Chains A and B, each alone.
Chain A
Amino acid sequence: MNILIKNGHVIDPSQNIDGHNDLLIKGRKILGLYPEGKGPAADKTIDASGCIVIPGLVDMHTHLREPGFEYKETIKTGTLAAVKGGYTTVCCMPNTKPVNDTISVTEFILEKSVKEGSCTVYPIGAITRGQKSEELTELEALLKAGCIAFSDDGHPVTNSLIMRRALEYSKIFNVPIISHCEDLKLSEGGVMNEGFVSTIVGLRGIPKAAEEVMVARDLSLCELTGGRLHIAHVSTEGSVKLIRDAKARGINVTAETCPHYFTLTDESIISYDTNLKVNPPIRTASDVAAIKEGLKDGTIDVIATDHAPHHVDDKNKEFDSAAFGISGLETAFSLGLQLVDQGVLDMKQLITKMAVTPSHIMGIGKGMLTADSDADIAIINTEKEYRVDSSTFLSKGKNSPFNKWTLKGTVEITISMGKVFEWN
């Protein structure tokens, strides 16, 4: 079946397109772009008036929770949340139960996502067996089974020698090692950023240094080995500076941040709202400013969600024992749009950081609207306002600190591998 998307403002930074065009898709593929009004007749026509038509977003940092934590999220609900948020590809982190450190788990995730998923799922394999920082997983076998990168996310690789080996050994396959940078001794017992606000509310702080010392270590190891390092969820000013400096010296590093790190500050935790509890923690205004600066100057390559859905019972409790994490897939693009409104990024840069670059880093050929690429498209009304109601999230995780916020940018239609999801 052919579908013609007309009257939309097509933006595809991968081929530097930014204007009114018609877009024709056939089955699971994009056939091509046409000047506005010149697209051929099709079986179905989508009127994208007033909307941007962009490559489906690519999240390189998602927790789908399956297998093992199906009460928090499943591949079915997590991928539905993804398409609701304009994402057509998610890369899922391996901290499931069991950990994705063997091909059977990778195969399970892929089979399940084909059967029940609404978007494309790429598994990220564990760097070390059981994420225990002791022995490397079988990278070749995991890659062959369908993994596209490696991370012990949720846990740092505490053993520096193993991290060195991972960065070295992965060069055989030219795949990224994604580092969750946290010194567990420095962060021990901490539940929020260490600073004036932690003093006021009396909660144990996690100093910025807990992240930065590991960023510095991994940058050194990356320089030593020439491996491919990707720093996950950058949250501090110091990390931005370290990465900026490393890039200037030619170190092969990429980095991501998440919407909450450029949107929220730790002052909001005065309410003890556990939906604000996330790791790394929400930092201060100067960190937010530095993250924005890093996004603007290219130090930070990617905006990922770190979508971390939790059951209400894991959040509706005392702050100290509540789970870390934010359900982020369904609000990420709207929060990204705020950067455009603030003049931090232009629309093309935003789409680059949310679709094009993550696809490049992961080497998955997504995030573009070129002829013959996958029919992964998001159609978004960037001017329309709405009130976030986390109870209506398609994710099982309703844990959003943005609940009741008024945001701009409604995803009207998502097309994932040719399948059309109409939301309004």
Chain B
Amino acid sequence: MIKSKHLLGIKELTSEEIYHILDTAAGFRDVLHRDIKKVPPLRGKTVVSLFFEPSTRTKTSFALAAKRLSADFVNFSVSTSSVVKGETIKDTALTIQALGADFVVIRHPSAGVPHFLSNILDMSVINAGDGANEHPTQALLDLFTIQTHKKNIKDLTVVIIGDIAHSRVAKSNIYALTKLGARVRLICPPTLMPAEVGKLGVEVFHSIDDGIKKADVIMTLRLQLERQSKGFLPSLEEYFKLYGLTSERLKLAKSSAIVMHPGPMNRGVEIESAVADGPQSVILEQVTNGLAVRMAVLYLLAGVRK
């Protein structure tokens, strides 16, 4: 059973809750393969997305997930709304609530905004990414994808390569994977490693060749191109040379290893095209699984609200 009507982060979930979401998602995946991809449980409910950062895939995924559960989905457009006129986030959120929404799916560049809103709002708050804090549905869909290929998550060796310090995807995955008993290795230059991250029960590597050895799962992260100008890296070329996931390096992992990426990819920066498009890549599966997982989240939170 899920306890909270909000999904703020993986930090706040127990391993039982995580498994419950994954099991529920498995049911919805079957729906997605039917001819008529729509079920009625959220009929009459309204889901509003409130994105303060550009996003296409996450927003579209939530929109389709809501619609396949028969909910109404509305996007509250930040760039053309009162927000640009100086409205506070609190007032914006209360306005959406007053319009009768049941769920708000929020993405914001500042960590903790979903938590802040969950203290103010009656409607369910779903975190679709807050600063460098968490992106829980991404981690859930990653787990779901791993489960499809590896059955048991416990005792797997999962490596995460890239800009860990600025990555909410990495953070949510670290919490999720360690809660479920996987061994997590982080690989990135010291400039992009979060402070004292080892205390989260992960292993830290600065060399990709060392870190990738015998891995079961390899997650690469998108490198924000402005990291170079901020002094984190000398150049994107050097980053690719040191940390890019190439076919050669992939051979150091287990032959059964799968390759994941939360998208959007920078080909030739963090991942070689041959790997992204290769047989071990499950990147497009992740996208499909995202729908099932987000349907499960909406469905289960609606259950808590009853």
**Binary contact track A168-210/B, C-beta < 8 Å → 1, others 0:** 0000000000000000000000000011101111111100000
| Cβ of B270 to closest chain A Cβ, rounded Å | 21
- Bound-state CA distance A118–B162 (Å) is 58
B194 touches A199 (CB 8 A): yes
A271: which B residues are within 8 A, CB to CB? Answer: 115
B88: which A residues are within 8 A, CB to CB? Answer: 313, 317
- Bound-state CA distance A319–B89 (Å) is 12
Max chain A C-beta neighbours (<10 A), residue from B90, B168, B196: B196
B90: which A residues are within 8 A, CB to CB? Answer: 316-317
**Binary contact track A297-338/B, C-beta < 8 Å → 1, others 0:** 000000000000000010011111100000000000000000
Kindly state whether residue B109 has any CB partner on chain A within 8 Å.
yes
Interface residues on chain B, number (Cβ under 8 Å): 25
A185 (CB) vs chain B CBs: closest residue: B231
Which one of A199, A201, A203, A316 lies within 8 Å of B197 (CB-CB)?
A199
| Cβ of B8 to closest chain A Cβ, rounded Å | 10
Which residues of chain B from 158 to 195 have any CB-CB distance to chain A below 8 Å in the complex?
Answer: 168, 171, 194-195
B200: which A residues are within 8 A, CB to CB? Answer: 199-200
| Cβ of A112 to closest chain B Cβ, rounded Å | 31
Kindly state whether residue B134 has any CB partner on chain A within 8 Å.
yes
| Cβ of B286 to closest chain A Cβ, rounded Å | 22
B111 touches A203 (CB 8 A): yes
Which residues of chain B from 12 to 36 have any CB-CB distance to chain A below 8 Å in the complex?
Answer: none
- Bound-state CA distance A390–B55 (Å) is 40
Which one of B109, B110, B115, B199 lies within 8 Å of A196 (CB-CB)?
B199
B89 touches A196 (CB 8 A): no
Kindly state whether residue A272 has any CB partner on chain B within 8 Å.
yes
A202 touches B171 (CB 8 A): yes
- Bound-state CA distance A203–B171 (Å) is 12
Known: A272-B116, A317-B90, A321-B110. A196 touches B133 (CB 8 A): no
| Cβ of B223 to closest chain A Cβ, rounded Å | 18
- Bound-state CA distance A201–B11 (Å) is 10
- Bound-state CA distance A202–B88 (Å) is 21
| Cβ of A206 to closest chain B Cβ, rounded Å | 11
B110 touches A318 (CB 8 A): yes
A320: which B residues are within 8 A, CB to CB? Answer: 109-111, 131
- Bound-state CA distance A195–B199 (Å) is 11
| Cβ of B221 to closest chain A Cβ, rounded Å | 15
Max chain B C-beta neighbours (<10 A), residue from A195, A199, A205, A271: A199
- Bound-state CA distance A205–B199 (Å) is 17
B111: which A residues are within 8 A, CB to CB? Answer: 201-203, 272, 319-320
Kindly state whether residue B68 has any CB partner on chain A within 8 Å.
no
Known: A320-B111, A321-B110. A205 touches B195 (CB 8 A): yes
Kindly state whether residue B102 has any CB partner on chain A within 8 Å.
no
A189 (CB) vs chain B CBs: closest residue: B230
B171: which A residues are within 8 A, CB to CB? Answer: 199, 202
A202 touches B199 (CB 8 A): no
| Cβ of A129 to closest chain B Cβ, rounded Å | 31
Which residues of chain A from 251 to 276 have any CB-CB distance to chain B below 8 Å in the complex?
Answer: 271-272
A204: which B residues are within 8 A, CB to CB? Answer: 132
Known: A317-B90, A318-B116, A319-B110. A202 touches B196 (CB 8 A): no
- Bound-state CA distance A203–B131 (Å) is 7
A272 touches B132 (CB 8 A): no
B130 touches A202 (CB 8 A): yes
A195 touches B196 (CB 8 A): yes
Known: A201-B133, A202-B130, A204-B132. A318 touches B197 (CB 8 A): no
Kindly state whether residue B7 has any CB partner on chain A within 8 Å.
no
- Bound-state CA distance A200–B196 (Å) is 10
- Bound-state CA distance A272–B11 (Å) is 14
Which one of B108, B134, B168 lies within 8 Å of A318 (CB-CB)?
B108
- Bound-state CA distance A204–B88 (Å) is 21
B112 touches A319 (CB 8 A): yes
| Cβ of A403 to closest chain B Cβ, rounded Å | 15
Known: A317-B89, A318-B116. A202 touches B134 (CB 8 A): yes
Kindly state whether residue B283 has any CB partner on chain A within 8 Å.
no
Known: A202-B131, A203-B131. A318 touches B195 (CB 8 A): no
A202: which B residues are within 8 A, CB to CB? Answer: 111-112, 130-134, 168, 171
- Bound-state CA distance A247–B293 (Å) is 61
- Bound-state CA distance A194–B195 (Å) is 7
Which one of B11, B113, B131 lies within 8 Å of A200 (CB-CB)?
B11
B110: which A residues are within 8 A, CB to CB? Answer: 318-321
| Cβ of A267 to closest chain B Cβ, rounded Å | 12
Which residues of chain B from 57 to 116 have any CB-CB distance to chain A below 8 Å in the complex?
Answer: 88-90, 108-113, 115-116
| Cβ of B198 to closest chain A Cβ, rounded Å | 9
B164 (CB) vs chain A CBs: closest residue: A199
B112 touches A199 (CB 8 A): no
B199 (CB) vs chain A CBs: closest residue: A196
B116: which A residues are within 8 A, CB to CB? Answer: 272, 317-319
Known: A318-B116, A320-B109. A196 touches B168 (CB 8 A): no
A199 (CB) vs chain B CBs: closest residue: B194
A318 (CB) vs chain B CBs: closest residue: B110
A313: which B residues are within 8 A, CB to CB? Answer: 88
A319: which B residues are within 8 A, CB to CB? Answer: 110-112, 116
A205: which B residues are within 8 A, CB to CB? Answer: 195
| Cβ of A256 to closest chain B Cβ, rounded Å | 27
B89: which A residues are within 8 A, CB to CB? Answer: 317-318
- Bound-state CA distance A79–B197 (Å) is 45
- Bound-state CA distance A200–B130 (Å) is 12
- Bound-state CA distance A200–B168 (Å) is 10
A-B contact pairs, 29 of them (CB 8 A): A195-B195, A195-B196, A196-B195, A196-B196, A196-B197, A196-B199, A198-B194, A199-B171, A199-B195, A199-B200, A200-B11, A202-B111, A202-B132, A202-B133, A202-B168, A202-B171, A203-B111, A203-B112, A203-B131, A272-B112, A272-B116, A316-B90, A317-B89, A317-B90, A318-B89, A318-B108, A318-B110, A320-B109, A320-B110
- 19 extra A-B contacts, CB within 8 A, seeds A318-B116, A319-B111: A195-B195, A195-B196, A196-B197, A196-B199, A199-B194, A199-B195, A199-B196, A199-B197, A200-B11, A201-B112, A201-B133, A202-B133, A202-B134, A202-B168, A202-B171, A272-B112, A313-B88, A316-B90, A317-B88
Q: Which residues of A contact B (CB under 8 A)?
A: 194-196, 198-205, 271-272, 313, 316-321
Interface pairs A-B: 4 shortest CB-CB: A202-B133, A272-B112, A202-B111, A320-B110
